[in-house]
A and B are shown apart, each in its own frame.
Chain A
């Protein structure tokens, strides 16, 4: 459908008009072999999207008029939405920016048009997610400053650095990283937990956003698969380049999904499925079939695939512990799950939970009951690539933190895994520029301009939170006793069952 929308330029040579589509080494001999993934005229596209918008905004309006925010399972669920608006929604905007670049710079008009249409879809997602969640922002904390938090706050550098790595790559790598690895291979591991989580927890606003995005996502998946097949079919020399990108971007995308794993195992009062189950279904089964299919091109499964399988019993619990340790500096709450929830976790993770993770959660509960709720007061070591605190363990020993390092031009760099180390070693010039939140705090770059760290009584955490724009005592900290908890209980007339410590026994033995 897009054939004939482009032309061979005569006013300037083609490679001056399109300077970006050869430097990555990908060889395209015949752009006419590109099959349009979106078989829509612009006017059909506007029509379908317009119809979806009418429905979406009608539902959001009804949700608001009906005080839908009081219909969620309990106030802890809101923290899943905080994670979403802070860490996922900004990525939609980055995707919008990201697709506009290949939307200009592929010399094939079919690929340009597809990228342009996706760029519009992604801006739409940024807008519709913001609207769907804005209603909650009127009533609850942890959502009011998400765009600034995305640029500054420590845990949000995980999604931010991921996407900036893609944005600063060339157009073919960008499509491999986002269209293929993220929007095809990994998409269900992001979308299903949040959208099913919303459905199971009474969140009509997010559910309706999910429905309105589904047909967009179906198109995006088609683009992802088309771009990968197109590159692989155009020239055998493309295969090793694409394989390298698949290895890098599966790993980077998977590490970002650590946050989703934690969300679905810990933040949904009405749980849908465990991370382990989701990974087995959407990762191992679907992904396994996909890579079998791609084998005919000479593509194998991504390098980190087996490690992701080994880690499926662990990453969600390890990630929750990061946020439990550091929620004093986060724009969301954490808590110890109820006994019923601990039992669900035992049942879903029979090989790991009771042995490695339940004891510390019970210890946390005990400490909280004694008024000594644990907070980690020392900044964590971060992985230079994925920027997650170094909580990952050795693939074959989940009791031991995994350390990897590289030396480059006289300096040491540290990583959580072989996968992240490989990314660094492949392109060190890029990653020595990583803006690591912990290091930036120590460099003094995370205070407002008028702050004097040498002044009497200087409180570095308070100063950093101020620079972050996180409101101490409202956005951060323990859920139990939070403003959100109290307000939800007062307004809905329902007590949040969660986080309430079990009473101490009447007598101690």
Chain B
């Protein structure tokens, strides 16, 4: 069903990276749906990946009782739903992350409040 129009129809995309102070990154903590949805943050490309776990994620997810129990060495990452191995020593850009990428992290053994996925 392509768009049917009466005249040439080409308008700029509203969310190109140049419109933002930094590329957007979407983050989701799997099995912790107390946080109603994944979040969206602008993340400077030169942010070290390690800063995610150390500085950024605590601010987003720290209120959850499971957060303090996370074993960061066991965390599994997914980018666009595919298993993904980040290099914690590299930056977000160095890890190949681009504007509007979506990362999900799974914390094995932690499945929310009383295992209810919340």
Contact = CB atoms under 8 A, between A and B. Distances in A.
Contact of A399 (B15, B28, B33): B33
Contacts, number: 154
A368 interface: no
Given A403-B81, A414-B102, A442 B20 contact: yes
Contact of A401 (B10, B20, B38, B63): B38
Contacts of A382: 40
Contact of B36 (A318, A427, A430, A439): A318
A434 B14 contact: yes
A414 B41 contact: no
B104 to A, nearest CB: 8
Contacts of A436: 14-15
A263 B19 CA distance: 35
A325 B20 CA distance: 25
B87 to A, nearest CB: 21
Given A25-B4, A170-B4, A429 B35 contact: no
Interface stretch (B47-55, B69-77, B109-117): B109-117
Given A399-B31, A411-B15, A435-B14, A23 B116 contact: no
A359 B13 CA distance: 41
A395 to B, nearest CB: 15
Contact of A412 (B41, B60, B99, B118): B99
Contacts of B88: none
Contacts of A393: 33
A290 interface: no
Contact residues of A: prevailing secondary structure: mixed
Contacts of A23: 4-6
Contacts of B6: 19-20, 23
B96 interface: no
A379 B40 contact: yes
Interface in A1-56: 19-20, 23-25
Interface stretch (A80-88, A370-378, A467-475): A370-378
Given A25-B4, A403-B81, A360 B9 contact: no
Given A244-B1, A429-B3, A436-B14, A322 B101 contact: no
Interface of B: 1-6, 9-16, 19-21, 24, 26, 28, 30-31, 33-42, 59-60, 63, 80-81, 98-102, 104, 112-114, 116-118
Interface of A: 19-20, 23-25, 170, 241, 244, 248, 318, 321-322, 324-326, 355-360, 363, 372, 374, 376-382, 389-391, 393, 399-401, 403, 405, 409, 411-414, 426-427, 429-430, 432-436, 438-440, 442-444
